[in-house]
Structure 1
Amino acid sequence: MSDDEFYRIKRLPPYVIAEVNGMRAAARAAGEDIIDLGMGNPDLPPPPHVLDKLIEVTKKPDAHGYSQSW
């Protein structure tokens, strides 16, 4: 990486998710009761019927491509 590329990258704004994660961690460390409504953090496994359907669909040869864009 050239020096110019390095400095261009350093000028990018902070990643917003990292900023939110830092704010949440600081609030928790300060003893605040935080309810995380963020997506992608399930605390339970998917129901068995969902897993069964995923397995079924992954075995279909036509299920492995990009979706249609409208």
Structure 2
Amino acid sequence: MAIAIRKATRLDKLPPYLFAEIDKKKREVAARGIDIISLGIGDPDLPTPAHIIKALQEAAARPANHRY
């Protein structure tokens, strides 16, 4: 026997998820044959600058950052 689970009505008051809306618009544009250049996800081809790596290492070494 399956149990019917109802969502809370207050969920209907939440705004649409922004990234789902962006994806929907991208699909609509692509369906019209327009090329889209996505800047959302990438694969960097340049090394991370040394000062950024150093700052990350220093921040990771601080005990105050070792928790949620």
Q: TM-score, normalised by structure 2?
A: 0.52
Runs of 4+ in 1 over 4 A off after TM superposition: none
> What count of residue pairs does the alignment treat as equivalent?
60
Distance 1:4 1:35, change over 3 A: closer
Does residue 30 of the first structure (1) align with residue 32 of the second (2)? Answer: yes
How far, CA to CA, are the matches of 2:7 and 2:60 in structure 1? 45
How far, CA to CA, are the matches of 2:25 and 2:33 in structure 1? 13
1:43 is matched with 43
Distance 1:53 1:11, change over 3 A: closer
- In the TM superposition, 1:1-70 aligns within 5 A as 3=6, 5=8, 7-38=9-40, 41-44=41-44, 47-49=48-50, 50-62=52-64, 64=65
Say which one has the larger Rg. 2
How far, CA to CA, are the matches of 1:4 and 1:43 in structure 2? 38
RMSD of Structure 2 on Structure 1 (CA): 3.1
